[in-house]
Amino acid sequence: TVILSKKFSNIVIVEPNKKFFRYVHNLIKCRGFNKKWGKVNVGNERFDLILAIHVFYYIPKKNWHKQINRMINALSDNGKLIIVLQSKISHLYISANQFLKKESDINSEELIKILRKQKIKFTLHILTTKLWANNKKEIESLGNFLLEAHNVPKKNIRAFSFWRKKENKFYATNKEHLIIVSKL
């Protein structure tokens, strides 16, 4: 959002985390909602671009179709919805699931099934990214955050499980789908 904000004259952010909301709100000139997407009412406002990057972890899966439709309905005629969500083939996804009794159904493949079932046209790209951490504190903080997205209870030993070391830094590899939905 921060990087793309220079390309748009009107930016609205939706961010439930108060600290992160304040940070972004102070960094760029924008309006915003310090709430979860499901609690936001945008009224009749229409958007050229909606970014839902790693948002669907925090929306109950039973509501995904409803929230996708809300996002699409909030687009302008030529608008685009960009969704990024972790894939089942991701090292991070596989690592998180080792701590669950039943595999998490919070993944891009499940979202793609919903889009296809609703006959929503989209394009799809696979992204490979690396997350970096400098020290034990960052590993614990980021690791627990990533595990929490799949409803894995916080435990620092688990937070260390998916990191690899390169020189004096730590990294975790992630595979995710970038899904682009056009209004028309």
pLDDT one-digit tens code per residue, 40-80? 999 999 999 999 999 999 999 999 999 999 999 999 999 99
Q: Which residue carries 């960052």 as its tokens?
A: 138
pLDDT-derived band of residue 157, with 50, 70 and 90 as boundaries? confident
Residue 132, token pair as written in the block: 């970096």
Looking at the chain, the number of H-run helices and the number of E-run strands are 6, 7
Angle at 160 between CA 159 and CA 162, to 5 degrees: 95
| Dist. CA 110–CA 85, nearest whole Å | 10
- Predicted TM-score (pTM) of the model is 0.90
